[in-house]
């Protein structure tokens, strides 16, 4: 027989004025299993808690119902108090007499009766409560950051400075991401490389950071605190330890006409290359698709010249498996290509470029050394048209969302152009100007007012080539839709920001959700923006949604704080409100029949397969097993299981059934 104590709180007048608390306490004495029932002015006050603790000891209570306010308010308080009196905290439940009764009903008999009912339900529940113990999960204090753009670098540095090990995995040969390609940055117009390069170097030299460039995540097993990540280190065809980065090989490589990704196809590079001079690490890779040796079996000029003998033509990809406690995704974005716009001639004209190409043209380290030359003939463009929202907010292009950064960088581009070509004319076609942010609107106004950039509100319907010019036909909606025709030398399309190549596959590898557009989904749009719904995996930067640098960096630091928080203990302690699959002695082993209908119901991929094996190693039965490190206790699987093999601790079938039977 249970010995349950019921403690009815008046909450001053809050409950007491509407519910006859003394009567409730009296009524509860008659509930079978209730060994003690009392009412008190303020249960949550110190004397209230002390009185409860004394009663627990004196009456040898093994369960407690506190009839007071919402459990969402004081459940932790009373569970702690109960624990301090030596009873398992999960043997305490709260009846919500205040929010769900006294505050919402009129004073009277019915309300007092309802209060007693609410208590009765929980008394019956408690009879089926079991002591529960926090779940402890060990934590490997090494983080992995996937993606080495400005976001990933920031996360890595913050975690490393917090005293923890970080592995930074970047798929391209250098860290830096899109920011390393930018010329100057809004809203301050400071040089992008100048502010980014020191960070890149810091990351490379940090004793807590291991860089794995030219590498990709292949497989992820395990769960929060205990991931096992397999990384593919792609063969650089180079012994990185021997290479000093002298660059002799690059100078002498005979194969010099390869379209350069870093310069967005506006320049060329060699087959053995570093993507850009400030690359980190400053160690080349051989592009085996274009290398003469791999194509013809002859060349090896680089091998002959390398003073340290670092070239390794026979080198193969290497798979490395690492123990990781937390993962941060920072894989960034990609830009929509210019060739999807029929109205702009599918971007066939060399002088219709995208924003990133413009960045390279404007960059001092770019293919034109920062001198404005249009790609087709190298002439200085006298008139440039910038088209914002190219593909963004356009359902027909599959991008109904706003890419967020284009308004700002388009203003920046127009300004940079005007600073370089003083006599030039810059036009911007736009739908709306979205320049919300510190100093952002001022920045756009500067472009219009100080740099005389002509802003035209309207869409461009067509661009065609005529006599070496690009004829841009649009309309000015502020002038009543009056047609506008501009004969331009170059057109810059601010194409939409899209989720990066391979995002969906990566999300599947990591079991994190992604939205319709392939951006990774946050656990809660407002309150958990840097977490994913897979515990232990976090987000930073443009891989979650279009973001500019300040936002990326802020989110990166947020994600890092989450990781450092997770790493602040050897063990992770979790609430024991988790699901369990029942276990029985042989030959049944469990009520689970191994149908795994529950598997896809779990929002957290917490359900695993467990094989029961005989002594000889033969599989007798395959059962579901719930990983307590991942389960969040929603109970969806419980309701899905036909055989009632799964139950949820704290809200078990027996508890709920008992509650229902009092109604």
Residues that bind ligand SF4 (CB under 6 A): 578-579, 581, 592-598, 601-602, 604, 606-607, 624, 626, 631-637, 640-643, 645-646, 648
Q: Which of 405, 470, 535, 626 binds ligand FAD (CB under 6 A)?
A: 405
What is 228-240 written as a DSSP string? EEEEEE---SB-T
- Which CB atom, from 280 or from 486, has the smaller least distance to ligand FAD? 280
Please state the length of the chain: 663
- Which CB atom, from 367 or from 650, has the smaller least distance to ligand FAD? 367
CB of 596 to another protein, least distance (A): 6
User: Which residues make up the interface to another protein (CB under 8 A)?
Assistant: 70-73, 96, 98-101, 103-106, 110-111, 114, 117-118, 121, 513, 523, 533, 577, 588, 591, 593-601, 603-604, 622, 632-636, 638-640, 642-645, 648, 651, 653-654, 656-661, 663
- Which CB atom, from 336 or from 606, has the smaller least distance to another protein? 606
CB of 104 to another protein, least distance (A): 5
Q: Which does 96 bind (CB under 5 to 8 A by kind): ligand SF4, ligand FAD, another protein, none?
A: another protein
CB of 621 to ligand SF4, least distance (A): 10
Q: Which does 513 bind (CB under 5 to 8 A by kind): ligand SF4, ligand FAD, another protein, none?
A: another protein
Residue 315 Ramachandran class (φ > 0 left, ψ -120 to 50 alpha, else beta): beta
CB of 514 to another protein, least distance (A): 12
- Which CB atom, from 312 or from 591, has the smaller least distance to ligand SF4? 591
Positions 487 through 516 that interact with ligand FAD (CB under 6 A): 500, 502, 506
Q: Which of 49, 185, 270, 368 binds ligand FAD (CB under 6 A)?
A: 185
Q: Which does 624 bind (CB under 5 to 8 A by kind): ligand SF4, ligand FAD, another protein, none?
A: ligand SF4
- Whether residue 74 is preceded by a cis peptide bond, meaning omega within 30 degrees of 0, is no
Show the tokens assigned to 308.
Answer: 């340290």
Stretch that binds ligand FAD, among 137-145, 170-178, 233-241, 578-586 (CB under 6 A): 170-178
Whole-Å CA distances, 40 to 8, 33, 50, 51, 68: 6, 21, 12, 9, 10
Element (H, E) at 327: strand 326-329
The residues, any chain, with a CB within 8 Å of residue 529's CB and separated by 6 or more, are 522, 539, 544, 555, 558
Which of 386, 397, 464, 465 has the alpha carbon at shortest distance from 431?
386
Give the residue carrying structure tokens 């060739």. Answer: 339
Element (H, E) at 65: strand 63-68
Stretch that binds ligand FAD, among 149-157, 285-293, 304-312, 621-629 (CB under 6 A): 149-157
Q: What are phi and psi of 440, to 5 degrees?
A: -80, -50
Whole-Å CA distances, 165 to 158, 227, 510, 640: 11, 14, 20, 41
Stretch that binds ligand FAD, among 126-134, 220-228, 277-285, 325-333 (CB under 6 A): 325-333
Instruction: Give the chain's end-to-end CA distance (angstroms, integer).
Output: 21
Q: Which does 657 bind (CB under 5 to 8 A by kind): ligand SF4, ligand FAD, another protein, none?
A: another protein
CB of 508 to another protein, least distance (A): 15
Pairing type for strands 63-68 and 4-9 reads parallel
Show the tokens assigned to 287.
Answer: 């592009």
CA 478 from centre of chain: 40
Element (H, E) at 626: strand 619-626
The three-point CA angle 162-166-171 to 5° equals 140
SS3 180: helix
Q: Which of 53, 96, 331, 655 binds ligand FAD (CB under 6 A)?
A: 331
CB of 196 to ligand FAD, least distance (A): 10
CB of 659 to another protein, least distance (A): 6
- Which CB atom, from 275 or from 628, has the smaller least distance to ligand SF4? 628
CB of 618 to another protein, least distance (A): 13
What is 81-110 written as a DSSP string? HHHHTTS-GGGEEEEE-IIIIITTS-SSHH
The residues, any chain, with a CB within 8 Å of residue 267's CB and separated by 6 or more, are 260, 360, 366, 367
Give the residue carrying structure tokens 């590898």. Answer: 509
- Which CB atom, from 500 or from 590, has the smaller least distance to ligand SF4? 590
549 binds ligand FAD (CB under 6 A): yes
- Which CB atom, from 169 or from 592, has the smaller least distance to ligand SF4? 592
CB of 612 to ligand SF4, least distance (A): 13
349 binds ligand FAD (CB under 6 A): no
- Which CB atom, from 365 or from 533, has the smaller least distance to ligand SF4? 533
- Work out the number of other CB atoms within 10 angstroms of the CB of residue 298: 8
SS3 71: helix
The residue ranges that bind ligand FAD (CB under 6 A) are 146-152, 169-172, 177-179, 182, 185-186, 216, 330-333, 335, 355-356, 359, 405, 409, 412, 500, 502, 506, 541-542, 547-550, 552
């Amino acid at each position: 027989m249970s010995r349950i104590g019921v403690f009815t709180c008046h909450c001053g007048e809050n409950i007491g004025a509407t519910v006859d608390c003394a009567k409730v306490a009296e009524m509860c004495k008659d509930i079978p299993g209730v060994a003690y029932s009392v009412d008190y002015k303020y249960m949550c006050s110190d004397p209230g808690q002390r009185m409860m603790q004394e009663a627990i000891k004196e009456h040898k209570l093994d369960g407690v119902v506190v009839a007071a306010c919402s459990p969402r308010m004081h459940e932790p308080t009373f569970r702690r108090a109960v624990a301090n009196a030596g009873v398992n905290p999960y043997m305490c439940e709260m009846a919500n007499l205040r929010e769900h009764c006294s505050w919402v009903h009129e004073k009277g008999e019915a309300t007092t009766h309802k209060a007693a009912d609410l208590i009765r339900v929980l008394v019956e529940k408690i009879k089926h409560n079991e002591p529960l113990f926090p779940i402890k999960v060990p934590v490997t204090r090494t983080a992995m950051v996937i993606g080495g753009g400005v976001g990933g670098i920031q996360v890595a540095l913050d975690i490393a400075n917090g005293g923890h090990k970080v592995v930074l995995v970047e798929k391209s040969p250098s860290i830096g991401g899109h920011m390393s390609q930018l010329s100057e940055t809004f809203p301050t117009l400071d040089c992008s490389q100048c502010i980014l390069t020191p960070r890149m170097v810091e990351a490379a030299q940090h004793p807590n950071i291991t860089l794995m460039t030219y590498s990709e995540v292949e497989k992820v097993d395990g769960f929060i605190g205990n991931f096992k990540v397999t990384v593919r280190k792609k063969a650089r065809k180079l012994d990185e330890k021997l290479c000093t980065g002298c660059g002799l090989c690059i100078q002498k490589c005979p194969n010099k006409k390869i379209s350069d990704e870093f310069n967005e196809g506006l320049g060329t590079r060699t087959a053995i290359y570093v993507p850009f001079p400030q690359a980190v690490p400053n160690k080349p890779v051989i592009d085996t698709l274009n290398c003469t040796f791999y194509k013809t079996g002859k060349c090896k000029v680089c091998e002959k010249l390398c003073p340290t003998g670092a070239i390794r033509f026979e080198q193969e990809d290497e798979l490395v498996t690492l123990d990781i406690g937390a993962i941060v995704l920072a894989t960034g974005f990609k830009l929509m290509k210019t060739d999807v716009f029929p109205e702009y001639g599918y971007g066939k004209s060399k002088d219709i470029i995208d924003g990133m190409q413009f960045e390279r043209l404007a960059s001092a380290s770019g293919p034109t050394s920062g001198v404005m030359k249009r790609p087709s003939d190298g002439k200085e463009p006298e008139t440039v048209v910038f088209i914002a929202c190219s593909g963004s907010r356009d359902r027909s292009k599959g991008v109904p969302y706003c890419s967020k950064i284009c308004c700002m960088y388009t203003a920046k581009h127009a300004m940079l152009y005007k600073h370089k070509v003083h006599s030039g004319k810059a036009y911007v076609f736009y739908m709306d100007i979205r320049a919300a942010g510190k100093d952002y609107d001022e920045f756009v106004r500067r472009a219009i007012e100080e740099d005389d950039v002509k802003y035209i509100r309207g869409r461009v319907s067509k661009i065609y080539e005529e006599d070496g010019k690009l004829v841009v036909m649009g309309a000015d909606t502020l002038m009543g839709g009056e047609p506008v025709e501009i004969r331009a030398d170059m057109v810059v399309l601010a194409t939409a920001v899209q989720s990066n190549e391979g995002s969906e596959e990566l999300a599947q590898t990591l079991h994190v959700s992604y939205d319709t557009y392939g951006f990774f989904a946050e656990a809660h749009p407002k309150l958990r923006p840097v977490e994913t719904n897979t515990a232990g995996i976090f987000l930073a930067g443009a891989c979650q949604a279009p973001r500019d640098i300040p936002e990326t960096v802020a989110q990166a630091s947020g994600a890092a704080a989450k990781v450092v928080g997770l790493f602040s203990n050897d063990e992770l302690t979790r609430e024991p409100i988790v699901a369990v699959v029942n276990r029985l002695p042989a030959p049944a082993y469990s009520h689970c029949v191994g149908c795994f209908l529950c598997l896809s119901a779990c929002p957290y991929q917490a359900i695993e397969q467990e094989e029961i094996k005989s002594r000889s190693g033969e599989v007798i039965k395959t059962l579901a097993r719930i990983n307590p490190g991942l389960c969040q206790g929603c109970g969806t699987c419980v309701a899905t299981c036909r055989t009632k093999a799964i139950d949820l601790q704290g809200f078990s079938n027996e508890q709920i059934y008992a509650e229902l039977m009092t109604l």
